[in-house]
C-alpha cells in the first residue's frame, strides 16, 4: 500500500511571512489521518515544524505515521527549511517513541498550569511596570539572551539572529504599548531592580476555548539569583493573569535548563507538549 500526503485546503500565510499547510494522510486514496507543516519564512535557511499529527486507530502500528512524517520533512526541505521541529502532546507516548526512532531529540518542552490562589509578595519586595526609559536596554539584552538560547539549541548564527529578532518584533510590535503585553520589574526595599517578568495575555486558546497566557521571559539579575526571586516573579505573572481574567498560564523551557524545570514543577506546572528537532540534511 502507498502512503502519501494530499493538501487539506489551500496553503495559508504563517507567522512572520511564513507558510502553513494542513495535509491529509492517504493510503491508496483513503484518508487515514492528517498533519500540518509550517515554516517560519517563505525561503531561506529557517526552521520548519510538523504538528497536529493524527492517524485513525484502525490504521495505527502500520507505519503510516512514519511515512507521513518523512513525507512532511520532504515538504519542508522543498520549502527551504534547514531544520525541523516536531510538536508532540505529552499524552502521545507512541508519537514520542516514533520521533526518537526518526532521529529527533528534545529541544524544549511546554508546561502549563491552571492558576489558583496567588500568595502576596515577600516582605520588602514590590513590583511595578517597566518604564519607557528602561525598555530599549532591556529589549537589546533580551534579544541577545534569546539568541544565545537558540544557538545552544542547535540553530546556526544567522538563523538564531533572525529568529530572535523576528520573534521579538512579532511579540512586541509597539513595545510597551503592545496590547496584552505585561512587563513588570521586581524591586527590593531600596528600589533596586531584582528581575523582570514578561507575560503575553490571551496568547492562545485551550481546546475548551479558555484563554491561555504565556510567560515569555523570567529574568533575575545575576547578582540576585539563588534567593527565590524567580518564584516571586512567577507569582507576579500569575497575579497579572488573574487580574486580566485569565486562569491558565503556559511557558517554554529548554530541556537542559534543569533549574528552571525544577522551579516550574515546584509551582505546579506540568509538561503539556514536547518539542523535538533535527537537521534536514
pLDDT tens, residue by residue, 84-110: 999 899 998 988 999 999 999 998 899
CB atoms within 10 A of CB 85: 21
Kindly state whether residues 93 and 142 are assigned to the same domain: no
Q: Does some domain include residue 279?
A: no
What is the pTM (predicted TM-score) of this model?
Answer: 0.84
Kindly state whether residues 124 and 263 are assigned to the same domain: yes
User: Is the four-CA dihedral 121, 122, 123, 125 of positive or negative sign?
Assistant: negative
Q: Does some domain include residue 201?
A: yes
- What is the spatial distance between Cα 129 and Cα 185, in angstroms, rounded to a whole number? 6
Please list the ranges in the chain whose pLDDT falls under 50: none
- What is the spatial distance between Cα 251 and Cα 256, in angstroms, rounded to a whole number? 15
Kindly state whether residues 88 and 122 are assigned to the same domain: no
DSSP class of residue 9 equals S
Kindly state whether residues 94 and 124 are assigned to the same domain: no
Domain range enclosing 158: 114-273
Kindly state whether residues 78 and 216 are assigned to the same domain: no
- What is the spatial distance between Cα 251 and Cα 187, in angstroms, rounded to a whole number? 23
- What is the spatial distance between Cα 18 and Cα 12, in angstroms, rounded to a whole number? 9
Q: Does some domain include residue 108?
A: no
> Torsion angle, CA of 258/224/198/213, rounded to 10 degrees?
50
Whole-number pLDDT of residue 115: 96
The string of DSSP letters for 196-248 reads EEEEEEEEEE-TTS-EEEEEEEEEE-GGGTTSSHHHHHHHHHHHHHHHTT--E
Kindly state whether residues 143 and 259 are assigned to the same domain: yes
Kindly state whether residues 87 and 197 are assigned to the same domain: no
Q: Does some domain include residue 278?
A: no
Q: Does some domain include residue 26?
A: yes
- What is the spatial distance between Cα 264 and Cα 232, in angstroms, rounded to a whole number? 12
- What is the spatial distance between Cα 130 and Cα 198, in angstroms, rounded to a whole number? 10
Kindly state whether residues 55 and 13 are assigned to the same domain: yes
Length of the chain: 281
Kindly state whether residues 190 and 89 are assigned to the same domain: no
Whole-number pLDDT of residue 1: 64
Question: Three cell numbers at 26?
Answer: 492517504
Q: Does some domain include residue 40?
A: yes
Q: Does some domain include residue 280?
A: no
Kindly state whether residues 164 and 57 are assigned to the same domain: no
73 near 80, Cβ under 8 Å?
no
Q: Does some domain include residue 181?
A: yes
167: number of CA atoms within 13 Å, CB side?
A: 19
Whole-number pLDDT of residue 210: 86
Kindly state whether residues 154 and 127 are assigned to the same domain: yes
We report the CATH number of the domain holding residue 91 as 3.40.630.30
Main-chain dihedrals φ then ψ at residue 265, nearest 5 degrees: -65, -35
- The last residue of one of the domains, among 70, 103, 136, is 103
Considering its fold, how many domains does the chain have in total?
2
Kindly state whether residues 194 and 62 are assigned to the same domain: no
Amino acid at each position: 500500500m502507498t502512503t502519501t500526503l494530499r493538501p487539506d485546503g489551500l496553503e495559508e500565510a504563517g507567522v512572520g511571512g511564513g507558510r502553513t499547510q494542513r495535509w491529509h494522510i492517504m493510503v491508496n486514496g483513503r484518508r487515514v489521518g492528517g498533519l500540518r507543516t509550517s515554516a517560519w519564512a517563505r525561503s531561506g535557511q529557517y526552521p520548519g515544524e510538523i504538528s497536529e499529527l493524527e492517524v485513525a486507530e484502525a490504521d495505527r502500528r502500520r507505519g503510516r505515521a512514519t511515512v507521513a512524517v518523512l513525507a512532511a520533512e520532504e515538504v519542508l526541505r522543498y520549502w527551504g527549511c534547514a531544520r525541523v521541529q516536531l510538536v508532540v502532546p505529552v499524552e502521545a507516548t507512541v508519537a514520542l517513541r516514533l520521533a526518537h526512532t526518526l532521529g529527533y531529540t528534545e529541544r524544549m518542552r511546554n508546561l502549563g498550569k491552571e492558576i489558583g490562589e496567588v500568595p502576596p509578595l515577600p516582605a520588602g519586595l514590590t513590583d511595578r511596570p517597566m518604564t519607557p526609559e528602561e525598555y530599549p536596554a532591556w529589549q537589546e539584552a533580551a534579544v541577545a539572551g534569546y539568541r544565545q538560547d537558540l544557538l545552544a539549541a542547535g540553530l546556526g548564527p544567522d538563523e538564531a539572529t533572525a529568529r530572535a529578532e523576528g520573534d521579538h518584533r512579532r511579540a512586541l510590535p509597539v513595545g510597551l504599548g503592545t496590547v496584552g503585553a505585561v512587563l513588570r520589574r521586581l524591586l527590593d526595599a531600596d528600589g533596586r531592580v531584582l528581575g523582570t517578568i514578561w507575560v503575553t495575555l490571551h496568547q492562545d486558546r485551550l481546546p475548551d476555548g479558555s484563554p491561555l497566557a504565556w510567560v515569555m521571559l523570567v529574568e533575575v539579575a545575576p547578582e540576585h539569583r539563588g534567593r527565590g526571586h524567580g518564584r516571586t516573579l512567577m507569582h507576579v505573572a500569575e497575579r497579572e493573569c488573574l487580574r486580566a481574567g485569565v486562569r491558565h498560564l503556559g511557558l517554554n523551557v529548554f530541556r537542559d535548563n534543569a533549574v528552571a524545570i525544577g522551579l516550574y514543577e515546584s509551582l505546579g506546572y506540568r509538561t503539556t507538549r514536547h518539542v523535538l528537532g533535527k537537521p534536514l540534511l
